[in-house]
Amino acid sequence: MRKFIYFLFVVFITNIGLSQENVYIIINKHPDIQHFAYRSDTIQHDQYHITLSPEINKIEFSIKNNKLHKYSEMRAYNRTSFDFTYQNINGNNNPILVKKDSLQNKITYEEMILAKDYRNLLEILRSFKNVYLIDEASFFDGYYIAKKIEKPSFLAQL
């Protein structure tokens, strides 16, 4: 317990020095957010695939034998996804604590899906020196655990 408190104190002190050059992406549990994790003694690797465009269902109508027929077609290829990677090797990128009330530049998943232009959103995220990902479930006693992610990118589509 003592080590954990010391760790939180160090993380908190680290957070005090951070400035407006940070942007925080706040996500919650959602079917369009996929989280893949790998952990070992020295590596913590988290991959987040965040789908932004809602699925577009189209219905085709036809008449066969004097009856109306409806065919549903799902157009998944119109979906856009971000790829966010958090990697911590031998403690070189430990998560930090951030006070919920002190977050200046934040974007929620709900705001991301409403973006008019996803390329513009990606450019905005890349313009910040540090991009942190916060899982809403990490909230405890007024603080979030934030993970500094690598350069955000679009997920390669097949």
* CA distance linking residue 119 with residue 129, whole number of Å: 18
Does the pLDDT value for residue 157 go beyond 80?
Answer: no
Least Cα distance to 82 among 137, 125, 39 occurs for 125
pLDDT digit string, tens, across residues 84-143: 999 999 999 999 999 999 998 999 998 988 888 888 899 999 999 999 999 999 999 999
Residue 73 burial class via C-beta count within 10 angstroms: exposed 0-12, middle 13-18, buried 19 and up: exposed
For the chain, counts of helices (H) and of strands (E): 3, 11
Size of the chain in residues: 158
* CA distance linking residue 46 with residue 87, whole number of Å: 6
Residue 39's pLDDT band (boundaries 50, 70, 90)?
Answer: very high
At 123, list the tokens.
Answer: 């450019």
| pLDDT for the residue 67 | 77
The pLDDT > 90 percentage for the chain reads 49
Does the pLDDT value for residue 78 go beyond 70?
Answer: no
Torsion from C-alpha of 78, 30, 134, 9, nearest 10 degrees = -160
Spatial neighbors of 148 by CB under 8 A, at least 6 apart, are 86, 93, 96, 130, 131, 132
| pLDDT for the residue 9 | 47
Does the pLDDT value for residue 41 go beyond 50?
Answer: yes
